[in-house]
Amino acid sequence: MPSIRRHKKECARGKKDPERSQYSVSVVLYKLVSRSWEALGGGAWAEMHLFFRPQGDSRAFRLVAWIPESQDVILNLKLSPSTRLEVEASGFGELEGFGMYFSSREEAGATADAIAAAADELNTKQKRRSLAEIQEVQSVSHDTHVVFNAEESRFEGLPEGWQTANKQFAVPVGALPRVDVEGYDDKIPSVVVMLARKLDELNGHGTLGIFRVAPDQEDCREAREAIDRGGLWDTQDPHVVATLIKVFFRELPIGLLNWLGDASLAKLARHEPCADVVSDLADPHRSLLLWLLDLMATIVTNEHTNKMSAKNMAIVMSPNLYSTHAENPMAALTMAQTVADATKNLLAWRLADHHNYADDDDDDEEHHR
């Protein structure tokens, strides 16, 4: 893999014309492979620069990104006049087969503007705006000592104004801080591990209607905002914690079950062997799905007190695990039922296979294979 150090040495030796950084931002990069986003650089935060090199009266622009710790370059893209970064409402951006996750929607918008302005400058006949008009380059240095508190799922020691780096909701799984959990091949997002631990402390597993009963919305909003800021938060209401777990999965940029694909979901809904389908799902999403099924299983195994059967759990959780883009209401309704059936069968399989628990709601044992 190329190194940014090598590039800088070549410039210093005159092998390449000097390049200057016009804009920089921290980003987690993805590449679209077979219609799925795969994290680059192990899902670590990368330093991305928009470089320009003078070429007579015009300029050449490139986007270069590298992992600060290893200095490995994971993106080296020459801009064309048509290059544009398309930013979604969640702040996730797409550019020529690459996906970009930013710490805030504002940073995503500023990066899109910088790239658009650079691309405009490449068209000398229709130069519409200058990069200098939208980006004032400043030299800023910070003396920081940042650590990640896995117990509380937050970064500590962040400079003022950097609190958005703590954002835990509406973030791609590969871009989140994750921790090792025994029994899973890949790490699990620390925020849901923390929430599950809090749920256990509050005896959520024995709480009537857990994951079904709606808590006070203001309490949920305050807790969620505190987590996203990396601030201290506490609650004695297990329904708040359960709702935050549902919100986490509902707001993933790509739904957890979307990664399986509609064809696989249809197979699961028809009681085809779950193990075969799940094994085809790549990590980190496979491990996260199994972790969630195990969390749901611990609720179901206490159904004599919480009244949450496998069917009930599937009904309340499945809408948070899949995002449909169907414009036809009937098609959307049909898909919602397919996802609910698939979720129930996945849960029944996990209950039987790993928790030695029979699902009384289901008379068909096919999916337990």
Angstrom distances, CA of residue 315 to CA of 128, 187, 211, 251, 296: 53, 27, 10, 18, 12
CB 32 within 8 A of CB 99: yes
19 belongs to a structural domain: yes
User: Do 210 and 101 fall into the same domain?
Assistant: no
CA 164 vs. chain centroid, Å, equals 15
| 3-state secondary structure string across 199-248 | HHHCCHHHCCCCCCCCCCHHHHHHHHHHHHHCCCCCCCCHHHHHHHHHHH
Please tell me whether the overall predicted TM-score, pTM, comes out greater than 0.85 for this model. Answer: no
- pLDDT-derived band at 211 (thresholds 50, 70, 90) equals very high
Which stretch of DSSP H or E encloses residue 28? strand 20-33
CB 306 within 8 A of CB 208: yes
CA 214 vs. chain centroid, Å, equals 25
Q: pLDDT, tens digit, for every residue of 21-72?
A: 888 899 999 988 877 788 888 888 889 999 887 765 567 889 999 988 778 8
Question: Which CATH number characterizes residue 125's domain?
Answer: 2.30.29.30
CB 103 within 8 A of CB 164: yes
User: Do 95 and 240 fall into the same domain?
Assistant: no
User: Do 102 and 182 fall into the same domain?
Assistant: no
User: Do 230 and 90 fall into the same domain?
Assistant: no
Total number of domains in the chain? 2
Please report, as a single letter, which amino acid is at residue 4.
I
Mean pLDDT over 326-351 rounds to: 91
User: Do 266 and 216 fall into the same domain?
Assistant: yes
User: Do 243 and 355 fall into the same domain?
Assistant: yes
The count of other CB atoms within 10 Å of the CB of residue 136 is: 6
What does the DSSP 8-state code read for residue 270? T
User: Do 311 and 179 fall into the same domain?
Assistant: yes
**Alpha-carbon gap, residue 132 to 121, rounded angstroms:** 11
User: Do 107 and 223 fall into the same domain?
Assistant: no
154 belongs to a structural domain: no
User: Do 60 and 177 fall into the same domain?
Assistant: no
> Which residues face 87 on adjacent strands?
93
Task: Tell me which residue of 261, 209, 264, 262 sits closest to 237, measured CA to CA.
Answer: 209
Q: Pick left, alpha or beta for residue 52 (phi over 0 → left; psi -120 to 50 → alpha; otherwise beta).
A: beta
Percent of the chain with pLDDT over 70: 79
Question: Which CATH number characterizes residue 317's domain?
Answer: 1.10.555.10
153 belongs to a structural domain: no
320 belongs to a structural domain: yes
157 belongs to a structural domain: no
199 belongs to a structural domain: yes
- For 55, the domain range is 4-134
User: Do 210 and 71 fall into the same domain?
Assistant: no
The count of other CB atoms within 10 Å of the CB of residue 308 is: 23
User: Do 234 and 296 fall into the same domain?
Assistant: yes
Task: Answer with the one of 134, 162, 184 that is the final residue of a domain.
Answer: 134
- pLDDT given at position 361: 61
CB 260 within 8 A of CB 267: no
Q: For the chain, what is the mean pLDDT?
A: 82
Q: pLDDT, tens digit, for every residue of 255-284?
A: 999 999 999 999 999 988 899 899 999 999
- pLDDT given at position 18: 63
Task: Answer with the one of 134, 161, 188 that is the final residue of a domain.
Answer: 134
156 belongs to a structural domain: no
Please report, as a single letter, which amino acid is at residue 244.
L
Angstrom distances, CA of residue 162 to CA of 45, 68, 204: 14, 18, 33
CB 245 within 8 A of CB 321: no
User: Do 189 and 316 fall into the same domain?
Assistant: yes
Task: Answer with the one of 87, 107, 134 that is the final residue of a domain.
Answer: 134
Give Cβ neighbours of residue 315 (< 8 Å, ≥ 6 apart).
340
CA 161 vs. chain centroid, Å, equals 22
**Alpha-carbon gap, residue 250 to 321, rounded angstroms:** 6
160 belongs to a structural domain: no
